[in-house]
Amino acid sequence: MLIRWAAALLLAYLLGAFPTGALVARLYGVDLTQYGSRRTGATNALRVLGKPAAVLVLGGDVLKGMLAVWLAGRLVAQPSARPLAALAAIVGHTYSIFLGGRGGRGVATGLGGLAMLSPAALLVGAVGAIGTIAATRYVSLGSLVGAALGGAALTCQVLRGRAPASVLLYAVGGAGFIYYTHRDNIGRLLAGTERRLGQREHGAEAGTAAPQS
């Protein structure tokens, strides 16, 4: 059983760590860790590379979270394996061994994990996130609202007996981790200096833009 647990969590981390954004950016001749926020998630891909690249990154990152939870459920029968695998995947995405500890902020991979744990909670979080982004054009604020609402929806399902208590590990841990990875965004939101959706990094497509500090 211990070997199965170790395999499930290691695979979840490695799936999360798979550098989707960095590989897509390489097709454009760009090192995504050197531009914009230096993150490899879909938001930075959108700003640096544009919509087609961002869609590819988003889809790949969501799939990583889904596969991590699915594999954990196949390897370990205990209910806690799935939420722990979802957590391991977003940690891997944020601190990828393939990128020297760099990565994204864990939002898309977290959405994939949430989709496997509770589609209803995903819907609540997604509606809150999309609504917030549409109203404010702040992707980071939408991500924070979505994480909070998704975690709250999961918690409500547990309290109503519609989900195992083990998913609280993800409801609290996943949302908390997303807030941690967005701590710099939170600072900029409070200061009024956060970038809005649609602002791009010019020149990165040709690999000529200077890295941001």
Tell me the per-residue pLDDT of 143-185, one tens digit each, with 9 for 90 and over: 999 999 999 999 999 999 999 999 999 999 999 999 999 999 9
What does 18-59 look like in DSSP terms, one character per residue?
S-HHHHHHHHTT--GGGSTTS--SHHHHHHHH-HHHHHHHHH
The answer as to whether 156 is a domain residue is yes
The dihedral built from the CA positions of residue 61, 186, 167 and 84, taken in this order, carries a sign that is positive
The answer as to whether 207 is a domain residue is no
**pTM for the full model?**
0.90
Tokens 């029968």 found at: 77
The answer as to whether 109 is a domain residue is yes
The answer as to whether 211 is a domain residue is no
The answer as to whether 201 is a domain residue is no
Minimum mean pLDDT range among 8-22, 30-44, 189-203: 189-203
The answer as to whether 205 is a domain residue is no
The answer as to whether 27 is a domain residue is yes
The answer as to whether 209 is a domain residue is no
Range of the domain at 76: 2-196
Res 208: pLDDT: 38
Other beta carbons less than 10 A from residue 198's beta carbon: 9
Q: Domains in the chain: how many in total?
A: 1
Residue 198: pLDDT band with limits 50, 70, 90: confident
